[in-house]
Amino acid sequence: MKREFIEKAASDTREVVQSLLDENQRLSGRVAALMGEIDEQCRRFSERYVEIEEQNTKLANLYVASYQLNGTLDRARVIAAIQEIVINLIGCEELGIWELDEHTEALVLAGSFGIDPEKWATVPLGSGILGSVAVSGTNYIGDGSPVACIPLKLDERVVGAIGVFSLLQQKQGLEPIDYELFDLLASHAASALFCTRFLAERA
């Protein structure tokens, strides 16, 4: 009788121990899952924080760029400011800036970076993507080259265009802030270029 009692007690103890081990394993798995969820949330928060910081930096740069475009009547500085915006803020390694010559009905290259200036010296209106954008007055966004063509407009009248032919290697594609920059360039760069050209022609 005593032996049966001891065996039963031992069996009950094993069952309790096994139950505790199973529960411990279940809880360990749950803790691991929760830790994984917390780590994932922390990673997402960190990524979002970095994105917000980058956007804030770009918005600050957008303000500076706007000031640079409107803060001078020196033609060379205006063209340099436009190039700096496209190269550094949008992240481009090949670009061109054209002005419309109404007499020849062609776009004339005013400034460039990374492209052959002789090849792109003039672009007839309606010719290719760039010439078509100058006629339609509508932004072009593509997957190849050019990546983007932005008409420069004064009161809806096209006075020039900017062509972005390639992005920096580390940049995967255009971002929402880039489209805001395109909108800024479409008007502010147009007025700045037009004013400096007007003054240069009458100097």
Q: At residue 59, does pLDDT exceed 70?
A: yes
- Domain coordinates in residue numbering, the chain: 1-70, 74-201
Residue 65: left (phi > 0), alpha (psi -120 to 50), or beta? Answer: alpha
pLDDT mean over 106-117: 94
Give which of 84, 63, 65, 69 is closest to 196, Cα–Cα: 69
Q: For the segment 172-181, what is each residue's pLDDT rounded down to a tens digit? A: 888 887 888 8
Q: For the segment 132-164, what is each residue's pLDDT rounded down to a tens digit? A: 999 999 999 988 889 999 999 988 889 999 999
Q: At residue 188, does pLDDT exceed 70?
A: yes
pLDDT band for position 203 (cuts 50, 70, 90): low
Q: At residue 32, does pLDDT exceed 90?
A: no
Task: Tell the CATH topology of 74-201.
Answer: Beta-Lactamase (3.30.450)
Q: At residue 50, does pLDDT exceed 90?
A: no
Contacting residues for 107 by C-beta, under 8 A, at least 6 apart: 98, 99, 100, 101, 122, 123, 124, 125, 130, 131, 134, 160, 161
Q: At residue 96, does pLDDT exceed 80?
A: yes
Task: Give Cα 109 distance to the centre of its chain.
Answer: 25
Q: Please, what is the average pLDDT of the chain?
A: 84
State what percent of residues in the chain have pLDDT above 90.
31
Q: Are 85 and 181 in contact (CB under 8 A)?
A: yes
Model pTM above 0.85? no
Top pLDDT among 9 and 71 is at 71
pLDDT band for position 200 (cuts 50, 70, 90): confident
Q: At residue 126, does pLDDT exceed 90?
A: yes
- Can you say whether the dihedral through the CA atoms of 54, 55, 56, 62 is positive or negative? positive
